[in-house]
Structures are given as structure tokens and as C-alpha cells.
Chain A
Amino acid sequence: MRIVVLVKHVPEPTAVWRFSDDLTLDRAGLDGRLSQLDEHAVEQAVRLAEEGGPTECTLTCLTMGPAPAADALRKALAMGGHQAVHVLDEALHGSDALATSLVLAKAVQRLRFDLVVCGMASTDAEMSVVPSMVADRLGVPQATNASALSTNGTSVTVRRETDSASEEVVVPLPAVVSVTDQSGEPRYPAFKAIMAARKKPVQAWSLADLGIEAAEVGLAAAGTVVHDLRPRPPRTAGTVVVDDGDAAVRLADYLAGARIL
């Protein structure tokens, strides 16, 4: 079975965001990491690969992004990926979700696949649309937001927790699955695994390798234009009282003043 796991290099959750003049996120100036939500995707993909046995299964970690995104691939390899592909091209700067899904889908096709595993969202843009877009471009079904998944080699079975119900969904392969942060703790790679990951193959692919024109991607090709971007006015801390036995009454007074009571 050929599994491809899609990963993204994102700013650290505590990063202070900065933007370039073209209103894109200044990724070069930020400390980054493999998205915490994608670690769940890698974990589930590695578990499936381990169950299938190393000879039967190839697990490829795929990312697109500037040079530092290679760090996310190394982490995914240390967690158990077999090989990695980094789509790297100047022309990708400023790509929107549509262009991102085009590039990832072309790369997945080039790799050939039975199952694509993604995280539930990136922790920077947080749109959650790329898994569905990649699935649509590949012409395959998707099962999103899986809290558990398993496969018999011809289909995947997924458990989903929606607002209204707990569901079990069966999807024939090939397919795209996204997993939630409820799917299980990602493993913490041991030193030996980190060292071994350095020797695993990482290929760099350009747009030309994927048969994509530079004009199809990047900021100029985006389907949306950002007019302006402003920092949210910070919330200021209000009144803080220390409970001396009267806090409940003071809190009730406050709620009455705010017309909640």
C-alpha cells in the first residue's frame, strides 16, 4: 500500500505574526515547526504502515513551502515516514488554498497512492479546506475529521464525532482521510530515530517536475485578494477581585450591570 501524508511547516503557536508588504505571512522571519495537527496525521499514517509491515507499505511525507519546510519533513521522517518529497519553487510564494491543492494533488499523483492522510487543519491559516480540495482534484472520496481509522487494504473505515452524532464511515481506496487531534497522541521520536531520519531520502521537486506553469500558482494567481490586514485591538484586562467570601455577590452585580442577569 502506498500512503502519502501531507504535512505543513507552520509558525510556532506562540510566534508573533509578521506580514510582508504583499500581506502574506513572513514565514522566513518566524520560528517554525511541523504543525501539531499534522503530527496526528503522521502518527496515524505510521501506525497503518507498521500494521501493514515495512515491505508492503511505502509511507511518503509530502510538503510544499520554502526551504525551512524541510524541517517538518525531517520530523515526520523521524516519526516513521520512509521517504519525503519537498515541493519547492519561488513561484509558489503567496499561493492560496486552490493553488496549494493543485500542487499537492499533482505531487500525490506523481508518487502514486492508495491513501492520502492529512491533519484536520493547519495551525496558521486554519481553513481546513485543502484535504477536500486535494480529494476533488484526485477524483477520489474523502473522509474528514477521523478520530480513528483502520484499513483492510481495499477500503478505510473511519470513526467521526460530529455535533449531532457518532458515525462510522467506510470509504473505498484510493481515498483522502483527515484526522483530528482526538485520534491518539503523536509519538515522540527517540534520538536513534532522529539520526536515522537524516539518512532517509528527501527529494526536491519543482513546479516543472509536476507539469505546473508558474502562472497557475502564487499570489498573482490567487482566487482572493486581501484588501487590508489589521491587528485585533488587544483585549485589556478588566477588574480582578480576590475572593474574600463576597466574590459571588460582586460577580452577580457585574453580570446584572452587563444586563446578563
Chain B
Amino acid sequence: MTTVLVLVERGGAGGAPVRKPTLELLTVARRLGEPAAVVCGPVGEEIVETLARYGATVVYAADAPELDDYLVGPKVEVLEEAVRRTAPAAVLVTSGPEGKEIAARLAVRLDSGIVTDAVDVQPGPDGPVVTQSVFGGMWTARSRICRGMPIVTVRPNAAHPEPLTNYPPPAVEPVAIEFSELARAARVVSRTPRAASGRPELIDAAVVVTGGRGVGSPEGFQLIERLADALGAAVGATRAVTDLAWRGHEMQIGQTGKTVAPQLYLASGVSGAVQHLAGMQSSRTIVAVNKDRHAPIFGVADFGVVGDLHTVLPALIDEIEKRKG
């Protein structure tokens, strides 16, 4: 069986060893061949166990300070080396800013076709068939890679992670590389980690609660966060909110922020500009609260409330607490 390489995204300190999108990649990789995981950074028992449980039969482990000290360069060279060793049937990377950069440089070096932002990947007679949501989420394209080794960046939530019940312990293969001067050029001179919110991650969350300009102020946005906490949800924001610096850019949903597809998307005070809809209209269920009955968000909402979020949301939080009670 041919190898399918998966580039692993490590979890944050104190959390799971591997981020959920990586487990999704391994699940997808099992459809296409035998998954092998490429890990940058220290490899302990816990991470190996997790990768094995989701199907990795080999773990390529590269641990060097350069992997943290520079932008993507060193990671590209690690992945390139893993490709050289395994001659894989495909390389799968999570479709985030860093994953796309790594995949893009790899595609040039291997002169291989690349598809980004996959929402589904299935085996086909001529290699993986990749489904993408394109042009602002308004079109669905199915395509395949016809040159070189298929490189696919896969969006979070493209698959449901499926653990195996029986799995052999994987081989751990160290990857030691003398990084090139080019890889060691874009140097990170300072890194200030963000304080953990204690909430689910936006791209993984089953429920996302979003606030727009209609919340009225940075303090008003706390109402969105209270509702999110009542629902165990992640918190999102529109570009208006992040432009006004009411909340940070990492919370922005839409064309220049994140694309999410949760079970429930609850938008309050969000008008529904096309750029925002592009980032959330694949959500299973959309609920909107807005005082303007003509807001475009109502055109995509499964359930809409025309009303003042400042009265509707506190009442909804009380109602949720009562029913949970």
C-alpha cells in the first residue's frame, strides 16, 4: 500500500498533543493509502499514541530549534525530506495560513499540482478527487491533480475523526536535517502568545456564537461571550468588530478571517455582508438576531429573530440556564 503523508499540527501547551484537524487528515489519509505522520518538534509517547490511534503507521520526527525560530522554511525542508524517503501517493496539510505556505513552496519544489481548501477528499482511479467550496462559497468544484505528487490542503471539519480500535505501534523515524540558509532567513525575533480563552477553538467548534457591529460597543460584546459560554460555544466576530478593535483579529470570520462550518452558527447584530457569508454559509444551522428585518443575514438564516439583541440575548441566556438547570 502506498504512503500518504500527513503534516501534523501540534496542540497548544496543556491541551491535546495534536490538533483536531490533524486527526481529520489522518482519517482522510486512510481512504487513500497508509498514513505516515510528519511531526515538527519533540515527539513523546503521547503524541505517537494519538497519531497511531488515528492510523499513522510511521511517524517521521524532526526536532530542531530552527523549526520554532523561523517561519515555514525549515518545515518545508522536513516535509520535502519525508517526501523523498516515502515517494507518497499524496501529501495532506491542514488548510490554514501556515499549512498553505508550506504546501505552496512544496508544490513549486516538486512541480506538483496543488488543491487548497478541500472540504472532501475521496479516492479516485487517477488519484484523489478533491471537493472545494470556491468563489465565496457559492460554487462547489471537484478536481484532481494531474501533475506530480498530489498536494492537498484540507479545511478543518472536512471529515469526522475516526479512531481505530486495533492498531500496531508505529515506527518512529528521526529526520535530521541541515537546514539551508534560505530556510533560516525569516527569523521570529519575538513571539507573544495569546492568553487562552478557555473556549473551544473557532475552527473546530460545534457551536459558534458571533457578534457584529450591532452589539454597539466592546462592553456590549460581553453579551455574545456570555451566550457562547452558556452554549459551550466558540466566539466569532465580524470584520467591523475587529476593525473597531472591539475584539482581536483572530476572532474574525469571513473572507479575510476564518471559514467555519459548525452545527450551529448564531449571529447577533450581524448584517450579513457577502464577505462575512463566505466564511459561514456552510454551517449546518444558521440562527440570526438582528433589529433590521431587511438584513441580508435573514436570507440565509434557518431561524431569525427580528429584535433587539440587548433584550433577546439576556432572555435567551436565562432560558438556556433554566433548561440546563
Is residue B244 contacting chain A, with contact meaning CB distance below 8 A?
Answer: no
Complex: A13 Cα to B274 Cα, angstroms? 8
- Segment among A73-81, A135-143, A186-194, A205-213 that sits at the interface with chain B: A135-143
Interface string of A129-163 (1 = CB under 8 A from B): 11011011101111111010000000001000111
Complex: A98 Cα to B112 Cα, angstroms? 8
**A224-B114 contact in complex given A132-B101, A133-B105, A240-B301, C-beta closer than 8 Å:** yes
**A142-B148 contact in complex given A229-B140, A240-B304, A255-B264, C-beta closer than 8 Å:** no
Is residue B85 contacting chain A, with contact meaning CB distance below 8 A?
Answer: no
Complex: A172 Cα to B137 Cα, angstroms? 37
Complex: A129 Cα to B129 Cα, angstroms? 20
Is residue B187 contacting chain A, with contact meaning CB distance below 8 A?
Answer: yes
A59-103 residues at the B interface, CB under 8 angstroms: 96-98, 101
Is residue A199 contacting chain B, with contact meaning CB distance below 8 A?
Answer: no
Is residue B50 contacting chain A, with contact meaning CB distance below 8 A?
Answer: no
Set of chain B residues within 8 Å of A142, measured between Cβ atoms: 71, 101, 186
Dominant SS among interface residues on chain B: mixed
Set of chain B residues within 8 Å of A141, measured between Cβ atoms: 71, 73, 182, 185-186
B233-259 residues at the A interface, CB under 8 angstroms: 239, 242-243, 248-250, 255-256
Tell me the minimal C-beta distance from A81 to chain B in angstroms: 23
Interface string of B247-278 (1 = CB under 8 A from A): 01110000110000001100000000011000
- A interface, size bucket: 35 or more
Q: Cβ of A225 and Cβ of B144 under 8 Å apart?
A: yes
Complex: A222 Cα to B194 Cα, angstroms? 40
B257-306 residues at the A interface, CB under 8 angstroms: 263-264, 274-275, 281, 285-287, 289, 293, 298-306
Is residue B164 contacting chain A, with contact meaning CB distance below 8 A?
Answer: no
Interface string of B7-29 (1 = CB under 8 A from A): 00000100000000000000000
Q: Cβ of A170 and Cβ of B189 under 8 Å apart?
A: yes
In the complex, residue of chain A having the shortest beta-carbon distance to the beta carbon of B300: A235
Q: Cβ of B303 and Cβ of A224 under 8 Å apart?
A: no
Partner of A237, one of B105, B142, B301: B301
Set of chain B residues within 8 Å of A201, measured between Cβ atoms: none
Q: How many residues of B contact A (CB 8 A)?
A: 91
Q: Cβ of A239 and Cβ of B248 under 8 Å apart?
A: no
Q: Which of B111, B143, B289 has the most CB of A within 10 A?
A: B143
Partner of B187, one of A132, A169, A225, A226: A169
**A171-B186 contact in complex given A231-B138, A258-B264, C-beta closer than 8 Å:** yes
B55-69 residues at the A interface, CB under 8 angstroms: none
Is residue B175 contacting chain A, with contact meaning CB distance below 8 A?
Answer: no
4 closest pairs, A vs B, by CB? A223-B113, A243-B307, A248-B315, A141-B185
Extra contacts, 15 of them, besides A126-B117, A230-B140 (Cβ < 8 A), are: A14-B274, A97-B104, A129-B116, A161-B248, A167-B192, A180-B256, A223-B113, A223-B146, A232-B138, A237-B304, A240-B293, A243-B306, A243-B307, A255-B320, A261-B323
B residues engaging A (CB < 8 A)? 12, 71-73, 96-98, 100-101, 103-105, 107-109, 111-117, 129, 133-148, 182, 185-194, 207, 231, 239, 242-243, 248-250, 255-256, 263-264, 274-275, 281, 285-287, 289, 293, 298-308, 311-313, 315-316, 318-320, 323-324
